[in-house]
Structure 1
Amino acid sequence: MIQVFIILTFIVFLVVFFFNLFNVIPQIVFIGFYPYALFITVFLGILLFSASYIQSRFWLITIKAMISIVLVISLFTLILIVINARHLNGYKKKYSEYIRTVNEFTKVEGVDKFYKEDFNRSIATLIEKSTGMSPTFKNNGILISDNEHYFDEIIEAISKAEKHVHVLFYIMRDDNIGQKLKTVLIDRAKQGVEVRVIYDALGSFKLSRKYINELKEVGVEIVPYNTVFKSLVTGKLNHRTHRKMIIVDGVVAFTGGVNIGDEYLNRDKNIGIWQDIIVEMEGDSVNYLQKIFLADWYYVTDKKITDIYYYGKTSVENYLPVQMVAGGFDTGWHEIHQMYFTLINSARGRLYIATPYFVLNDAMLESLQTAALRGVDVKIVIPEKTESFLIDWLNESFFKEILRSGVEVYKYKNGFMHAKSMIVDNRVVSVGSANLNMRGYYLDYEMNVLLYDEQLCLRMEQIFNKYMKMSEKQKYKDYEKLSLMRSVRYIIGRLILPIS
């Protein structure tokens, strides 16, 4: 009976503690600290429960010591997260310093003409002020959604490199496509091309030492973004670089939702058909992607590369407004959240969204509901199944509130839909690495591209319609009255909301 009382008291304490913690400290600090708090809570609960049954003085002293150590580490981690959230760490300083240094190389003309349209001005001005990235206008852009095709395009572009190749991915695997990438990078390095690679230490933790050494042996500079140890001592284990980009000779670049792994080529039978999108770009926009890569390179290596050699003048004359949006936990303005929020609120006719993770805070939920209620045609496609049943429960937990306002939700049933894209009124399409979840809004370092072009919007609409044909439309009546079991599932799913 005493043990039951201890457990109930502990649960009540946790509810009160987390409620007050969320209301007292800044939201971004709470979201950053939440996974640590969740682990600590479970660990302390196990220790306290064990202590109620243990009689041995030695083990009781050991448990007390462990509790003390965990609390000290927790306090240390919380302090680091507060420091990161206040932009007092190295990333914000180095990133901003680098962007300011090279801005002279990447100035563009034509901004005044572009800003004459209210729609363009409201979105582009926000992004420029929060990220330092203005729109560029002399560009070519292609949306690629065919799995085999986008890797073929990437490999071919790298194989033609003459000066430098820059690669950044959250996930790099030592599998078939990983081997193809390694082979072409080694070939270029042997021909005297400068090759630099950044991979996320946690996302690519399975990348073999042999793979890395083979690249280093021929002169490829390959470095991890924040090793696990560095992440722990800086309080950034929960903040990864989720960006994906390849820049070749400062002339052609690729970015989007695709990592380096065979699952992106439909070679994982457990996943099935993998749907994703990347953007291939030429023109002034490539210089802006180059800035983002080299700013990250400066952060992870302390090497500040500012030579104009890496920033060329484009020969492209085609008019295509393009704007880069880079964001992260400690970059200043939660740029990705601001971008999605503004795009949703700017929609007047239609708003189409494809995202594998559908996790909304109050602002995003109300924005989507309000858009639908004021007559905007809002359609959202998400996968029927993700990599975790908890995420599936979390995704579904928003359906009732969204469907009630008139938003149409579709579950993609033909594999895994991993694309992160948004179309607004045939005026702008967003494609990139950022999901509609807390990791995309706040926690990870992300990279999206805005393409202000009607034809590319129509191309994206074709891709979106393909997704919808392989999806099942959800009905409000199926979520209006939830069974007790489904309600419990959704509550459990919401527990991982801050870390999803």
Structure 2
Amino acid sequence: MFIELYKAISPVWHWLLLALDVCMVGFAVSHVLLRQRDGRIAAFWAVIIAFVPLLGAIFYAMFGINRIQRRGQKYRAMTEVERQAVLEACPLHPEKEVPELKLLGELAETIGKLSRYNFSVGNHMIPLRSEEAMLAMLTSIRHARRSISLCSYIFEAKGIGLDFVNELEKAKNRGVEVRVLVDNMGTMYSWPPIIHTLRRRGIRAESFMHSHFFFRVFSMNMRNHRKVMVVDGVTGFTGGMNIREGNMLSQNPKHPVIDLHFQVEGSAVRQLQRVFAEDWAFCCGEVLKGDLWYPELEPAGEVGIIGVPDGPDEDFELMPKVIFAAIGAAKKEIRVMTPYFLPEAPILWALNSAALRGVDVTIITPKNNNIPFVRWAARTLYPQMLERGVHILEADGHFDHSKFMTVDGIWSLVGSTNWDPRSLRLNFEFNVACFDDILARQLNAIFVKALEDCQPVSLQEIRSAGLHLRLRDGFARLFMPVL
């Protein structure tokens, strides 16, 4: 009887599934054609949707649609009074005269027009490596007297992360106003969830784009990848370092990570506070106001800085434009250190063009990548760069998560952005463009030191790789738009 019933129902289910597939494919392809701005990404998703029945359309709904723009539009569509309150709470007044920047020429002018933040002069920046940065941040929290704002993509609730929790709780108990923001996807990297741990200690904490576990997959392309901490509105920290035990190299962690972070002093700290305040208001509606968060700041050095926020909202694709402008302005040398090197076509062409006109272009990226799939895809890009004179080196040893770029020994770009499509297009990022020869020399010294543990990549090596390796790399490249 059951067999006969199955035979009777089976054709009906086949037709229903076919109709459902046609509808989903039609809707998904229409969305790709109407909404995807990048032709390569549109082609990638169109193939996936068309040739993977049902699942292709589901994958696109999960990973291909940028829902954050709707929420961003809602945020920007707040009443004028509410929106103005967020902006007025932390004004970024343009400098009346910045004679130092006039000497830097067109690049400074270009970045100044691209970013919605303003140039700030009279700043001091200190590069800090891994454990050194962690301890400096903890020390700053211990000395906090008024306020602490902390934003991180990953914030572990164990090891050094638990030390941060303990110090934040002590600060809260002595009357310091504490606000912590952690990306919702980033909370999946450790257990227990850091947000729960912080809230149990009485610390105000929010997750960016909060959703329940199952629905987190729908916000994978809307990550807040920014790393910012400001103490008392005076001392700031930013860069690419997460709060993880792997950074504590002296503790011999299971997964050691070399990283780079920066301590900032001077008027540019207000820009760090501003980017945190924008995200905080977006998440919970609270507007941070007053001298508690935005005190008057005195000059602290000679570094010219401009903040460069980037994200799939009003700052969409700002970082690729800034990088492209910097490469185009280079006269002598370009040095890039990044954990993930998958530049989009315009940046790739700009690097090749710079090398062809005689600029010394050198790139360091890890050989032992924590995401091997990214390295495999990247290796398919190497031949066209090596042919044009770009130098590519792969670093042995511990995974190096550092990310920075220097141009001509005077301009530096540091922050949270990786050189991959996800970071350049899909994530919320924060970087600072810095004009100072001393800072550039410090970063170049780190770069030169890293060269000691690097192996240059050659055309012969790439072309002589076994067929199975070339097929592996070619397959990985198919997924480059979403890596």
Q: TM-score, normalised by structure 2?
A: 0.84
Within the alignment, does 1:469 sit opposite 2:455 as a pair?
no
Q: Does the aligned pair in 1 maintain the 2:33–2:42 contact within 8 Å?
A: no
Distance 1:103 1:424 in 2: 35
Query: C-alpha displacement at 1:234, in angstroms?
Result: 11
Distance 1:461 1:72 in 2: 46
Within the alignment, does 1:202 sit opposite 2:212 as a pair?
no
SS of the residue aligned with 1:382? Answer: strand
Distance 1:78 1:269 in 2: 32
Counterpart for residue 142 of structure 2: 159
Judged with a 3 Å threshold, the aligned counterparts in structure 2 of structure 1 residues 98 and 468 are, in CA distance, closer, same or farther, namely farther
Query: C-alpha displacement at 1:211, in angstroms?
Result: 5.0
Pairs within 5 Å for 1:182-197? 182-197=165-180
SS of the residue aligned with 1:204? Answer: helix
What letter corresponds to residue 192 of structure 1 in structure 2? G
Within the alignment, does 1:102 sit opposite 2:85 as a pair?
no
Judged with a 3 Å threshold, the aligned counterparts in structure 2 of structure 1 residues 224 and 396 are, in CA distance, closer, same or farther, namely same
Stretches of structure 1 lacking an aligned partner (at least 5 in a row): 1-16, 46-66
Distance 2:35 2:99 in 1: 43
Q: Does the aligned pair in 2 maintain the 1:34–1:499 contact within 8 Å?
A: no
Distance 1:474 1:21 in 2: 40
1:26-83 per-position Cα deviation (integer Å, ceiling 9, x unaligned): 3359749968985x678x54xxxxxxxxxxxxxxxxxxxxx5xx788678779963x6
Within the alignment, does 1:90 sit opposite 2:90 as a pair?
no
Counterpart for residue 394 of structure 2: 411
State which drifts further: 300-309 or 355-364.
Answer: 300-309
Judged with a 3 Å threshold, the aligned counterparts in structure 2 of structure 1 residues 107 and 231 are, in CA distance, closer, same or farther, namely farther
Q: Does the aligned pair in 2 maintain the 1:434–1:441 contact within 8 Å?
A: yes
State which drifts further: 444-453 or 28-37.
Answer: 28-37
What letter corresponds to residue 453 of structure 1 in structure 2? D
1:323-373 per-position Cα deviation (integer Å, ceiling 9, x unaligned): 111101123441111111111111110000000111022101110100101
Pairs within 5 Å for 1:25-424? 26-28=36-38, 31=41, 44-45=52-53, 67=54, 81=66, 84=68, 89-91=73-75, 97=83, 101-102=87-88, 105-109=91-95, 111-117=97-103, 119=105, 122-145=106-129, 147-208=130-191, 212-229=195-212, 232=215, 236-266=219-249, 267=251, 271-272=255-256, 274-424=257-407
Query: C-alpha displacement at 1:92, in angstroms?
Result: 5.2
What letter corresponds to residue 181 of structure 1 in structure 2? F
SS of the residue aligned with 1:27? Answer: coil
Query: C-alpha displacement at 1:216, in angstroms?
Result: 2.5
Judged with a 3 Å threshold, the aligned counterparts in structure 2 of structure 1 residues 316 and 438 are, in CA distance, closer, same or farther, namely same
Within the alignment, does 1:457 sit opposite 2:440 as a pair?
yes
SS of the residue aligned with 1:325? Answer: strand
Query: C-alpha displacement at 1:174, in angstroms?
Result: 1.6
State which drifts further: 23-32 or 173-182.
Answer: 23-32
Distance 1:72 1:405 in 2: 39
Stretches of structure 2 lacking an aligned partner (at least 5 in a row): 1-26
Query: C-alpha displacement at 1:90, in angstroms?
Result: 3.1
Judged with a 3 Å threshold, the aligned counterparts in structure 2 of structure 1 residues 328 and 139 are, in CA distance, closer, same or farther, namely same
State which drifts further: 211-220 or 424-433.
Answer: 211-220
Identity percentage over the alignment? 24
Distance 2:90 2:222 in 1: 30
SS of the residue aligned with 2:374? Answer: helix
Distance 1:476 1:99 in 2: 56
Q: Does the aligned pair in 2 maintain the 1:91–1:330 contact within 8 Å?
A: no
Count of residues in correspondence between the two structures: 454
Judged with a 3 Å threshold, the aligned counterparts in structure 2 of structure 1 residues 126 and 26 are, in CA distance, closer, same or farther, namely farther
Distance 2:76 2:50 in 1: 31
Query: C-alpha displacement at 1:237, in angstroms?
Result: 3.2
1:102-149 per-position Cα deviation (integer Å, ceiling 9, x unaligned): 387332535441442353xx333443333311110121111112x221
1:181-212 per-position Cα deviation (integer Å, ceiling 9, x unaligned): 00100000000100000001111125545754
Q: Does the aligned pair in 2 maintain the 1:400–1:479 contact within 8 Å?
A: yes
Judged with a 3 Å threshold, the aligned counterparts in structure 2 of structure 1 residues 315 and 459 are, in CA distance, closer, same or farther, namely same
Distance 1:445 1:354 in 2: 20
Q: Does the aligned pair in 1 maintain the 2:127–2:263 contact within 8 Å?
A: yes
Q: Does the aligned pair in 2 maintain the 1:80–1:234 contact within 8 Å?
A: no
RMSD over aligned CA atoms reads 3.4
1:386-424 per-position Cα deviation (integer Å, ceiling 9, x unaligned): 123211201211111111111111110011111110010
What letter corresponds to residue 89 of structure 1 in structure 2? Q
What letter corresponds to residue 350 of structure 1 in structure 2? E
Judged with a 3 Å threshold, the aligned counterparts in structure 2 of structure 1 residues 406 and 91 are, in CA distance, closer, same or farther, namely farther
1:291-337 per-position Cα deviation (integer Å, ceiling 9, x unaligned): 00000000000112233432111133532211111101123441111
Within the alignment, does 1:434 sit opposite 2:417 as a pair?
yes
Q: Does the aligned pair in 2 maintain the 1:130–1:332 contact within 8 Å?
A: no
Q: Does the aligned pair in 1 maintain the 2:308–2:432 contact within 8 Å?
A: yes
What letter corresponds to residue 475 of structure 1 in structure 2? S
